[in-house]
Amino acid sequence: MNTEIIEKMKELGLNEYEAKAYLGLLKDNPVNGYTLSKNTSIPRSRIYEVLENLKAKQFVFEEQSEKSSLYFPIKPDDLAQKMEKHFQSTISKVANYTKQIYSEKTSVNHLLAIKGRKQILEFINRMIGKAKKSISLFVWEEEIDLLKTSLDKALLRGINIKGMFFGKNNPYKELIIHRRINRYIAEKDERSTIVVIDNKEVMLGVISRGEESQATWTADFGFVEMCQDYIIHDIMLNLYAYHLKPEEREEFELFTDQIRMSFYEYDSAKVNRLNEKENNPE
């Protein structure tokens, strides 16, 4: 028998003998317990116990005759439906109970640290999947493909998506490509991300360090509002720059270069190197 399938059936709640018995009946039915034991190598001392368990789960039915009892399985589609219904019911009960006992007041100001790029992106995908109204984000080209399925589903749900895209191949008209992107990429040693959901929760952190990446989640109102304002401010600044005439845009960017030199302690040589990267990308 297929050992991989038996292992999968064990994950769904059957033990090894139950899985073997059901699969054996699919191949040959109806049969009595002795024949099934012989066909599946299930010990004769255990076969009727196994069949009783499968009967109780309604995965196997018994047909009694004058000489012996014969057993046959439910159809595979029926088995899948029964298992799906059972697990959905179980998950629903667990979810309802855990929601009842969960004290949201104790966790509103909580900061949750998540480590590892894969784990961070999985968490963000779950956040996006729960969005009811809006998603605001900073996202890099290196990560967008790993969030695309969740974002596409959010758009289909009518979720309002806005944010900044750091890269050249932007798949969403809802996102604004950061101006002077070659310069910006050359300037940054790390990729950071921010995701705000429904103005209620936020995830932010560095995502470019592989397993050493680390991000923080919180539902703290002040923290969420600060991140949302930061995203909106960057959107407005970039849209304003795009709106300017060429000569006005050049003057504006020279002005922002001076500010960055002041705040980030860039010297003129570094600014020239960054501008060279912008004008002559690799």
In a domain, 166, yes or no: yes
Find the CATH number of the domain harbouring 73: 1.10.10.10
Q: Using the CB atoms, write b or e for 157-179: b if 16+ within 10 Å.
A: eebebbbbbbbeebebebbbbbb
Q: Residue 108's pLDDT is what?
A: 56
Q: Residue 263's pLDDT is what?
A: 78
Domain boundary among 77, 99, 126: 77
Domain boundary among 53, 77, 101: 77
Q: Residue 151's pLDDT is what?
A: 97
In a domain, 83, yes or no: no
Same domain, 64 and 116: no
In a domain, 254, yes or no: no
Domain coverage including residue 19: 3-77
Domain boundary among 30, 61, 77: 77
Find the CATH number of the domain harbouring 229: 3.30.870.10
Domain count, the chain: 2
Percent of the chain beyond pLDDT 70? 89
In a domain, 43, yes or no: yes
Same domain, 167 and 233: yes
Q: What is the pTM of this model?
A: 0.64
Per-residue pLDDT of the chain (282 residues; tens, 9 = 90+): 788 999 999 988 899 999 999 999 999 999 999 999 999 999 999 999 999 999 998 899 988 877 788 998 999 999 999 889 888 988 898 988 888 776 555 455 678 899 999 999 999 999 999 999 999 999 999 999 999 999 999 999 999 999 999 988 999 999 999 988 776 766 777 889 999 999 999 999 999 998 899 999 999 999 999 999 999 999 999 999 999 999 999 999 889 888 877 776 666 676 667 667 666 655
- For residues 213 and 115, the answer to whether their CB atoms sit within 8 Å is yes
In a domain, 93, yes or no: no
Residues with Cβ within 8 Å of residue 205, at least 6 apart in sequence: 114, 120, 192, 193, 213, 214, 215, 216
Same domain, 56 and 154: no
In a domain, 58, yes or no: yes
Q: Residue 76's pLDDT is what?
A: 92
In a domain, 204, yes or no: yes
| Crossing angle of helices 246-264 and 221-243, rounded to 10° | 140
Same domain, 138 and 18: no
Tokens of 117: 């790029």
Same domain, 118 and 237: yes
In a domain, 260, yes or no: no
